Amino acid sequence: MSIEFDTKFEPAYGESVPVAKGIARLTVNNPSAFTFHGTNSYIVGRDTLAVIDPGPEDEAQFQALVKAIAGRPVSHIFVSHTHRDHSPLAARLAQETGAIVAAEGPHRPARPLRIGEINPLDASADMDFKPDLALKDGDVVEGDGWRISTVLTPGHAANHAAFGLEGTGILFSADHVMAWATSIVAPPDGAMSDYMDSLDRLLERDDRLFLPGHGGAVTKPRSFLRGLKAHRKMRERAILERVKTGDRTVREMVAAIYRDTDPRLHGAAGLSVLAHLEDLVGRGAVTTDGEVSIDGRFSPAH
């Protein structure tokens, strides 16, 4: 199954854009190859509000949120995960509004770092973040006219969560599922096996609309999720084929598989290949000497 990405999106920086009944989106002016046009924050409710993913420490975004909140009480701030484009502004907004900050937990890698290993995504991690309320899978937080449920979706980050707006069929899918591109899964920050399991979790649900952390809405979630799974399986087959034809390093595989990709993304592509290789080694399809690493050499299992 092929997947069609939707890159049509108007960020409307600094403005509160209605996207569904009782939901407004504000997009941070932090565009990049990894954030698309910027990070989406969401305001839920009419009287007492919830804010989802306030964004990075950015003065313009803080002022835009305060303007959109317009003096109404904010009871909760939900944070999907602790990458610096999503979580840092939560502390300042909580101080301003008195809201409870809710999330799965502090930042952590998907697995312990190995001897001599450095996490290349450390700079993107918000290590200062600590929620007031630690959310478990299935936890429901009730507000004034809204109920938000927690759906843990590790993969892109170990502490990644999506949030369902109960009774609406709307899921705030953050960076796990986005219409414009696939999610980055980069060890040791994330794990491919977790990511694939999380896709299956969402396929078991019956959501009608995903509102992601970057870009526009996913309007047909089930078919899009199936497409994402097929895309990852196709990438896995391509990596296996490269290993079988003689590629031994991540660099060689990236050069072949991502030859038509923006070179600025080749570093992230290498980490994505590594995530697949971790999974393949764990399942016994590929071998390597010692621990799986970005500088390792890989061979087909015999």
For residue 207, the 8-state DSSP code is: -
Q: What is the spatial distance between Cα 195 and Cα 209, in angstroms, rounded to a whole number?
A: 20
Distances (CA, A) of 151 to 75, 136, 166: 20, 8, 12
At 108-148, the pLDDT tens digits run 999 887 766 777 666 799 999 999 999 999 999 999 999 99
Q: For all residues of the chain together, what is the average pLDDT? A: 95
Whether 250 shows a pLDDT value over 80: the answer reads yes
Can you give the C-alpha Rg of the chain in angstroms?
19
- Give pLDDT, residue 115: 63
> Could you report the per-residue pLDDT of 29-45, keeping only the tens digit for each?
999 988 999 999 999 99
Please give the share of the chain, as a percent, with pLDDT higher than 70: 97
Cα 157 to chain centroid distance, Å, stands at 7
Contacts of 235 (CB under 8 A, 6+ apart): 257, 272, 276
* Sign for the pseudo-dihedral over CA of 176, 177, 179, 183: positive
CB atoms within 10 A of CB 51: 28
What is the spatial distance between Cα 301 and Cα 242, in angstroms, rounded to a whole number? 13
